[in-house]
Amino acid sequence: MLKVINVVGARPNFMKVAPIVEAMKRRATEFAPLIVHTGQHYDARMSDAFFLDLGLPEPDVYLGVGSGTHAQQTAGVMQGFEPVVFREKPDWVLVVGDVNSTLACALVCSKMGVRVAHVEAGLRSRDRTMPEEINRLLTDQLADLLLTPSTDADENLRAEGIPSSRIRFVGNVMIDSLFAQLERAANSKVREELGVSGTDYAVLTLHRPSNVDDPSAFGRIMDALEQLCKRLPVIFPAHPRTLARLAEFGFAQRVAHARGLRLIEPLGYLDFLRLYSGARLVLTDSGGIQEETTALGIPCLTLRENTERPVTLKHGTNTLVGTDVQRILRAAHAALDTPRINGPQTSTLPLWDGHTADRILDALIEEQG
């Protein structure tokens, strides 16, 4: 039996780890899973609700690291995680995604000689100003087993000199969570509560420092939103960081006066899934939402100049628009003028089939020998 520590730190991690832990519990004769929550996302709205919605068990260990600079947060996770690894002596530590907790835990394990598996390995934006890109690059150098969501990720890793023996193409585990939770999300009344059931509306998420910490970039996005919300309602579940910047930059008044732009508190996973799965258009600077909207056939405008998920551009519904007002509006109106796509759109995306978690476990067993 393999003892596996599954590390979570921020919301995108929860969606990736939930189906993996569920599969480990289903295969209880092969796996003994532990969950370590670093506390990188420390707000209950950003963390506790996602555990509940995804059916994740309570963490076995909670490090409570909280906020801070990248260095403070990474160091805090390392200091808290090292004694956990020493005490538990796992066969594997499984890290997911590209947050600070991912790199910190991989680095601890590398120095302690504990094997690391990286889920969602090989994604690259080619933009080293993104902290996540640094985390991705370094984690992939440290990990013993690289579990990739798409074939372009395999190519990226091989181009960086990583041997094929360390790479396994397993598919996109985010889609496991998406497909598993769609039916449960149908019970949510969030569309009715917001008054958008049966109507066209857009959903916006915004949290990247390059967008929300720069008043010029944030201002351009606001300019576009003020125009777009004249055509259809825009629902904006606001990240705490984004709310703080809205007030700091004086944009809160603009939001209040933009008829059709609806600012709401962050939603749990099921409510958010129910909300955006019915949207006519999604605008985001998130990574995972680019994949989920592609899987559901929902037009997505990514408010960035690059993406580590190019498969969503080539085979999906994603368009890069940056923060240029006219690019955003042209792409938005083009999407809205195109007939709606109905149903999942994963046939051209290999292994986006809802069974990635079991392939991850098979790879761990195979690697164990």
Look at phi and psi of residue 103 and say left if phi exceeds 0, alpha if psi is from -120 to 50, else beta. alpha
C-alpha–C-alpha distance, residues 252 and 268, integer Å: 23
Determine whether 368 is exposed, middle or buried from the number of CB atoms within 10 Å of its CB (0-12, 13-18, 19+): exposed
User: What is the chain's Cα-based Rg?
Assistant: 20
Query: Where does 187-234 have alpha helices with state H?
Result: 190-194, 209-212, 215-228
C-alpha–C-alpha distance, residues 61 and 77, integer Å: 12
C-alpha–C-alpha distance, residues 103 and 132, integer Å: 10
The verdict on whether 207 is a catalytic residue reads: yes
C-alpha dihedral (246, 325, 307, 348), degrees to nearest 10: 120
Both structure tokens of 195: 């008054």
Please check whether residue 252 is in contact with residue 163, taking contact to mean a CB–CB distance below 8 angstroms. Answer: no
According to DSSP, the residues that pair with 142 across neighbouring strands are: none
Q: What is the DSSP letter of 279?
A: -
User: Which is nearest to 295 in space by CA: 230, 239, 240, 354?
Assistant: 354
> What are the backbone angles phi and psi of residue 36, rounded to the nearest 5°?
-110, 120
> What are the backbone angles phi and psi of residue 182, rounded to the nearest 5°?
-60, -45
Q: Name residues whose C-beta falls within 8 Å of residue 190's C-beta, 6 or more positions apart in sequence.
A: 267, 271, 272, 274, 275
Determine whether 198 is exposed, middle or buried from the number of CB atoms within 10 Å of its CB (0-12, 13-18, 19+): exposed
Both structure tokens of 23: 């599969």
As a 3-state breakdown, the chain gives helix, strand, coil percent values, each rounded to 5, of 50, 15, 35
Catalytic residue among 37, 70, 118, 207: 207
Please check whether residue 298 is in contact with residue 274, taking contact to mean a CB–CB distance below 8 angstroms. Answer: no
Which residues are annotated as catalytic?
Answer: 207
